[in-house]
Structure 1
Amino acid sequence: MDPKIGKATLKDNQYVENLEALFPNLPKRNDIFDSLQKAKFDVSGLTTEQMLRKDQKTVSRQGTKVAISAIYMDLEAFLQRSGLIADLHAFCQAHSYDALVAMTIFFNTCNEPVRQLAVFCPHTALRVTVCGVLERSHSPSLKLTPAPSIHPNLQAYLQGNTQVSRKKLLPLLQEALSAYFDSTNIPSGQPETEGVSREQVDKELDRAGNSLIPGLSQDEEEPPLPPTPMNSLVDECPLDQGLPKLSAEVIFEKCSQISLSESTTASRSKK
């Protein structure tokens, strides 16, 4: 209920005051809060999957889903969990998540909240888009500082603005999904191949489509022309010996014969 944290609303305060008026024998407000906080932040004995599912929300667009989980421990300790990357992969595959954002929160020795972020995503383009939107956000400004990461598919941050809770982060993730689909022509649900350019992906898709067309091979855009069949009827063609030799005299003689033939035909038709 501390206004410095920025989570409680006027309605929350009103409800608490009404409950305290109805039940005057309740323990002090701070004692109740401390007891609930201890239970909330007690993740001892939980597996990574249980921690991720304990307090989780999801945003999606066109079949692409991003999960955001609250992790009640220090980010450094969370990243040092044994087999963490394999657990994150398994969690995303089991629930069909394309990306996972873990927001860690704990209280320091001064009882001040500390928030940190970890973005896990095997799809390079989607991960870059999500991280870019979070880093450049001004409303609200998260004031992110990149932290050392343990894997190329995971980007960690220290969050300077601790008042940006998970609830306020959801619209930013929706914005990131919109930006991702606006910047890519890959159909929804078609995963990207890490380390392969978009041109290579498109080429492979074209090849896959061509392989379904009879006569088209994977390495050729058009079918090869069939060889010319042998024809025994033209084996003795005079042109087999090459073009005939022509001279000016032969041409004039041929023209004279044609002219004489036409004159004879014309005179006969007049008779």
Structure 2
Amino acid sequence: TTEAEEIFIPVLNIKRSEFPLRGDNVLFLQRVHISESLLVFRDEIDLRALHRAGRLTLLLVDHHVLPKSDAALEEAVVEVLDHRPIEQKCCPPCHVSVELVGSCATLVTERILQGAPEILDRQTAALLHGTIILDCVNMDPKIGKATPKDNKYVEKLEALFPNLPKRSDIFDSLQKAKFDVSGLTTEQMLRKDQKTIYRQGTKVAVSAIYMDLEAFLQRSNLLADLSTFCQTHSYDALVAMTIFFNTHNEPVRQLAVFCPHVALRKT
């Protein structure tokens, strides 16, 4: 058409091959009847080419730090919607909405209800509702992740769509799917929930591992796998943060550090 049309595409910032590692996402999208074939993953769209052609604007949701490899895309970022404290040095110079709530989905819900409530259908409401509940650990005041705003928007969604699933049912099934690592290789486990930190030329991987540290350390060929993982992705060190739930359903966290360089390991 002569008039440029804007097309909005949600892009998941992972490769399609990594999607099966996110068991909670896989289960939830199946439940609300959204086919995996409808999703667009980062390795299926050439954002750099679109940007070079002057046809790209980006809105970052649930993160605000672009990796070094995406530095060229920073000028295309027009808005950030996040729920984590801003790292001033790394944040793109654009309109930034940040509120320290338990779930970024709370901020998305607020944005929809304030700006375009007519687009909210049961399918979208179910996804937002379940995500807030999972992120906020079933709104448990003892755990303290849910803020008053998270509670407010879970209640609003339930008022608008009274037939949404029960909170505890949705939390239990998503939590179970999120923490189910049976059948994953050590490499997949490390990639499932991983952040990378660069400081003074040192590159460190931080991976959340959803099992007891003792059980993780007993995996066969563990040291060889950790070594290969660091070599393949040129990490100087790897921090494994294990998390599992004890019999009282309380989260227990443990730390393990893998680092071939003795001096860095001691640091």
- TM-score class, shorter-chain normalisation, is 0.3 to 0.5
Question: Under a length normalisation based on structure 1, what TM-score does the superposition of the two structures give?
Answer: 0.46
Greater Rg by CA? 1
TM-score normalized with structure 2 length: 0.46
